Amino acid sequence: MARSHHRYRKHQRQQHAVSSKPKRRAAPVFIIFLSFFGLGLGYFAAGTIPALIAGAIIGGIIGYLIGHNLDKMASR
């Protein structure tokens, strides 16, 4: 017995559901990691409070730049 061709639609394709998970970003991870690294570097370099603060700030800025560039590359 021949089957009906109307039962099977070849034109419809199911679209993949987009996951509702938020994308993970690399920038916050690098900011925190390099801030602690800069804090340690400032401690071993001079050991003064201004050196600690400057090391943490510079490390955070570098971490933001690296993480932001990684996020841009990953979104391509």
The confidence score (pLDDT) of residue 24 equals 80
**Mean of pLDDT values over 25-43:** 93
Task: Give the closest residue to 67 by CA, choosing from 33, 38, 35, 29.
Answer: 29
Dump pLDDT digits (tens) for 8-27: 556 656 665 566 667 788 89
Mean pLDDT for the chain overall: 83
CB within 8 A of 12, min separation 6: which ones? none
Task: Give the closest residue to 36 by CA, choosing from 12, 16, 60.
Answer: 60
Domain coordinates of the chain in residue numbers?
Answer: 27-75
